[in-house]
Amino acid sequence: MSAERAAHSSTSSHAASSHASMRLIDDYARGGTEMAADTVWALEAHLETCAICRGRLAASVATEAPGTAALVDSVRAALGPQLDTAVRMPSRRYRPSRLPAWTTSVTVPWLAMTVIVTVLALLLAAAGAPTAAGGVAPALLIAPVLPLCGVAAAWSRALDPAYELTASTPRAGLPLLLRRTTVVLAVVLPALLVEGWLTGAMTAAQWLLPSLAFTSTALALGSVVGVTRAAAGLAAAWCAVVAAPAWGAGRVPVVLRPDQLPLWGALLVLGTGAVIARRRAYSLL
């Protein structure tokens, strides 16, 4: 039997379309019980995927099964008033999900703040601040610690409302922190680059290495005291020890001269090494 069926179907499968026959659909629409079980099964599976056969079934219902057709019409009639009063669920299309899940909700505001600080420094330079302070660009003084603003928010308990959830995910820890830090750098560094190019007061060599060194140091210290505290502490120390005196004196600070670059490079390597050595310490938030 099965061999015969298989042979039969293999010959007919070449010629025939893969749609159900009208007679079969009529039988199905009438709800007859004489159909073979496997045929019904195949037909129902087919109808679920084939719009054409559903259309033919609809036509068949109209002519062959008046009871079902009447049922369809009466359901539609009763449905009308209910549709008017039904409370509709908000569509998932309009739910705000523009940010990837691994960012924190404060990512955008903090990055915006960082960019605004950059722009303000630019405006300050354009407004003639250099004459008041003796020729040192304000942007140059804040550039090394500017990424720290974003890094402070990247791994913070106070600034991440979902920090408990974040800390419990498998991706939590250093990978997530590095990802968020990368986002910060990807926004801040181009902004600084554009600013340096616009003002002409600082070259990338002057601030790029220091800002990277500060970022890695903040991450390294973060494994001990918390990233937010480390970033805030470093920024405060920079402002108090280097930026404020340089601003007052109107000179480019010693540590930002090109001959100090090996020092910054060493700090960057040291910070990165410390982060790698303490990579297990970031699972806490």
Partner 1 sequence: MRSRRRALDELDEENLLRLVARGDRRAFDELYSRTSPWLAVRLRRRCADEQIVAEVMQETYLAVWRAAGAFAGSAVGGTAVGWLWTIAARRLVDAFRRRAHHAEPPVAAAERAAVPAAEDEVLAKAVGGDVGDALRQLAPELRQVLQAMVLDGLSVRETAVLLRLPEGTVKTRARRARIAMREALA
Positions touching partner 1 (CB under 8 A) are: 1-2, 5-6, 8-9, 12-13, 15-21, 23-24, 28-29, 31, 33-49, 51, 54-55, 57-58, 61-62, 65, 67-69, 71-72, 74-76, 78-79, 82-83, 86-94
Q: Which is nearer to partner 1, 42 or 198 (CB)?
A: 42
Reported residue count of the chain is: 285
Smallest distance from partner 1 to CB 171, Å: 22
Give the residue ranges of DSSP H helices in the chain.
2-15, 22-30, 37-49, 51-64, 66-85, 107-126, 129-133, 138-142, 146-154, 163-168, 174-199, 204-225, 227-238, 244-249, 261-277
Q: Which is nearer to partner 1, 25 or 141 (CB)?
A: 25
Smallest distance from partner 1 to CB 8, Å: 6
Whose CA is closest to 139, among 182, 60, 213, 193? 193
Q: Which is nearer to partner 1, 30 or 229 (CB)?
A: 30
Q: What's the rounded Cα separation, in Å, for the pair 72 and 55?
A: 14
Smallest distance from partner 1 to CB 182, Å: 28
Q: Which is nearer to partner 1, 77 or 259 (CB)?
A: 77
Query: What amino acid is encoded at 184 in this protein?
Result: V
Q: Which is nearer to partner 1, 52 or 263 (CB)?
A: 52
Name the token pair of 7: 């042979």
Smallest distance from partner 1 to CB 68, Å: 5
Q: What's the rounded Cα separation, in Å, for the pair 134 and 251?
A: 7
